[in-house]
Amino acid sequence: MKILSAQQLAEADKSTIDKQQISSNDLMERVATLVFERIHQRLNGAPVPIKIFCGIGNNGGDGLAIARHMIQHGYQVTVYVTNCSKKRSPDFLVNYDRIKDVTNDWPILLSCKEDFPEISSQDIIIDAIFGTGINRALDGWMADLIHYLNESKTFKVAVDMPSGLYANTAHKKEDAILKADHTFTFQTPKLSFFLPETGDNVGTFEVINIGLDPEYMMQVAPLAQVISREAAQNMYQPRKKFTHKGNYGHVLTFAGSKGKMGAAVLSAGAAINAGAGKVTAYIPEDGNVMLQSSLPEVMTLQSEGEDHITDFEHSLKDTVLCIGPGIGTEKDTCSAFAKAVIKQSSPIVIDADGILILAQQPELLKDLPKDSILTPHDGELKQLLGEWKDDYERLEKAQEFSKEHNLILVLKGAHTITVAGSSQYVNDTGNPGMATAGSGDVLSGVIAAFLAQGYDPLTATVFAVYIHGASGDLAAQTYAHEGLKASVISNFIGASILQLFRNPQQPQEPQRTQ
């Protein structure tokens, strides 16, 4: 699913109005009806007090139209309008008049702090103050209103966007942004929903298809794409009947050191669990017994170094190299790392200490095969790219780095973003239970396994990130977030591939918790 900028969404609105020969007010009515239906499905006429706060632009117009539908269906609604400017949008004004026809009274105007209504914990708040049109931080009593609403313990629903939040530009820390429990967003999710500095303001969200011009939606180059279940289904490559293990590739994991042999077990184990035909773990000598007894399916090759890898002399022909988990940064490990990456001619998966070594020896970047995949968490990313001032600069720097070095970057987090040149793919599977030691090692093995099975590097990466998160979601249904551990996530890889093609009505659909 495409993520568009606020400006592109405004263009899509315009194109829709032109091509579908409807007025902007007809579109607003369509939007409001769709939101009302979603709310009505959930509340089912419940006599809860609902307070709708409307701005004076089109988001406010949406709010007034939603309020009108709710009042006509017997809901207990009080409507407030934030009287912050004389510049009211034409469609706001149409709906301002229309609601009066239903209530025989004007909505309550708020012009200062003293006007703020009392909010009880029983209330439901609907926030239609600002949407994608916001172009500066809220100040004065408008900022106070947002803080006031945030302090209340009641359930808050945002229309299109939590008010105060920008769709795709950075905020200052102190900006007033509504903290919604749920957001009904229109046509596409916004980039800010997925970023760590702002995503928490959105609560859970659902995207309402408001029927914006399909032609525009098809041709527009998005800011980023969210990997949907359908997209992941299309990426999957089923196995053929008359095949053998040689058809599914050979992964060589270069991982582990004394005290961190688990990283080698996790990455090699995940590569086997995700379908690599053969997996060999290249490890320090002392890790051999542990690895062989943990993973009987995996072959081993041992470095001369007893407690860390000190050398690399092996052939990498027809092998996918997955390098870095738990290797440490000893001098001879760094030289062995350099030997291996220089020798390899097909895309490499580089994780953890491998990324730190690259940051220390950036001259190696030019030796990496095109489309190699780096999977840094933010600590590792900072070593590579330096500090960033906000989430958007992080993405810009990652894009520049990816373009300059012809690499794919996997920016791990609650919504992992895969950056390939100027394209960005946002992952929507996974849960906070995956914030547990070793889950990144598992991801590196999954990416390598898909590469080995013949997926192209970008598809292997995006699909692996999706499946890794989906495995965590499925595992969490049995183990809860707290009980998740990396080996458990790895053991659910097969189940999550099955789940990808299961009818969503069947049990065991992963619970989305964004």
Residues forming contacts to K ion in the complex (CB under 5 A) are 127, 158-159, 163
Is 169 a binding residue for ligand NAX by CB under 6 A? The answer is no
Residue 67 counted as an annotated binding residue:
no
The nearest distance, CB 514 to ligand ADP, in angstroms, is 9
Q: Among 8, 51, 53, 59, indicate the residue that binds ligand NAX (CB under 6 A).
A: 59
Residue 246 counted as an annotated binding residue:
no
Is 136 a binding residue for ligand NAX by CB under 6 A? The answer is yes
DSSP state of 220: S
In degrees rounded to 5, what are phi and psi of residue 21?
50, 50
* Residue labelled with tokens 């499905």: 41
DSSP three-state, residue 311: coil
The helix (H) or strand (E) run that includes residue 510 is: none
Is 168 a binding residue for ligand NAX by CB under 6 A? The answer is no
In degrees rounded to 5, what are phi and psi of residue 495?
-60, -35
The closest alpha carbon to 97, from 108, 88, 106, 85, belongs to: 106
Q: Which amino acid is at 49?
A: P
The option from ligand ADP, ligand NAX, K ion, none interacting with 28 (CB < 5 to 8 A, set by class) reads ligand NAX
Residue 429 counted as an annotated binding residue:
no
| C-alpha to C-alpha distance for 374 and 407, rounded to whole angstroms | 7
The closest alpha carbon to 77, from 59, 50, 107, 101, belongs to: 50
| Structural tokens at position 36 | 């009302």
Q: Which is nearer to ligand ADP, 453 or 461 (CB)?
A: 461
Question: Which residues within the stretch 86-105 sit at the binding site for ligand NAX (CB under 6 A)?
Answer: 89, 91
CA–CA–CA angle 428, 430, 433 (5° rounding): 150
The nearest distance, CB 393 to K ion, in angstroms, is 26
Is 84 a binding residue for ligand NAX by CB under 6 A? The answer is yes
For every residue of 48-103, DSSP letters joined together read -EEEEEE-SSHHHHHHHHHHHHHHHTT-EEEEEEE---S---HHHHHHHHHHHHHH
> Residue 350 in contact with residue 358, Cβ under 8 Å?
yes
C-alpha separations of 113 from 122, 273, 395, 446 in Å? 22, 59, 38, 54
Q: At what angle do helices 353-360 and 378-385 cross, to 10 degrees?
A: 10
The nearest distance, CB 435 to ligand ADP, in angstroms, is 3
The nearest distance, CB 201 to K ion, in angstroms, is 11
The helix (H) or strand (E) run that includes residue 35 is: helix 24-43
Q: Which is nearer to ligand NAX, 138 or 264 (CB)?
A: 138
| C-alpha to C-alpha distance for 417 and 334, rounded to whole angstroms | 28
The option from ligand NAX, K ion, ligand ADP, none interacting with 372 (CB < 5 to 8 A, set by class) reads none
298: left (phi over 0), alpha (psi -120 to 50) or beta: beta
The nearest distance, CB 208 to ligand ADP, in angstroms, is 25
Positions touching ligand ADP (CB under 6 A) are 352, 377, 412-414, 416, 430-432, 434-435, 437-441, 443, 468
Is 145 a binding residue for ligand NAX by CB under 6 A? The answer is no
| Structural tokens at position 426 | 């946002």
The nearest distance, CB 451 to ligand ADP, in angstroms, is 17
Residue 440 counted as an annotated binding residue:
yes
The closest alpha carbon to 326, from 253, 412, 257, 251, belongs to: 257
The nearest distance, CB 352 to ligand NAX, in angstroms, is 41
| C-alpha to C-alpha distance for 465 and 90, rounded to whole angstroms | 45
The option from ligand NAX, ligand ADP, K ion, none interacting with 421 (CB < 5 to 8 A, set by class) reads none
The option from K ion, ligand NAX, ligand ADP, none interacting with 441 (CB < 5 to 8 A, set by class) reads ligand ADP
The nearest distance, CB 130 to K ion, in angstroms, is 6
* Residue labelled with tokens 């009947």: 241
Q: Which is nearer to ligand NAX, 60 or 510 (CB)?
A: 60
The option from K ion, ligand ADP, ligand NAX, none interacting with 439 (CB < 5 to 8 A, set by class) reads ligand ADP
Residue 436 counted as an annotated binding residue:
no
Q: Among 54, 67, 79, 138, indicate the residue that binds ligand NAX (CB under 6 A).
A: 138
Residue 263 counted as an annotated binding residue:
yes
Residue 324 counted as an annotated binding residue:
no
Q: What radius of gyration, in Å, describes the C-alpha atoms of the chain?
A: 26
**Which span (52-60, 239-247, 434-442, 449-457) binds ligand NAX, by CB under 6 A?**
52-60
Which residues participate in the annotated binding site?
Answer: 58-62, 127, 131-137, 160, 163, 263, 326, 377, 412-416, 440-441
Q: Which residues bind ligand NAX (CB under 6 A)?
A: 13, 24, 27-28, 31, 55, 57-60, 62, 84-85, 89, 91, 130-138, 142, 159-161, 186, 210
Which residues participate in the annotated binding site for AMP?
Answer: 412-416, 440
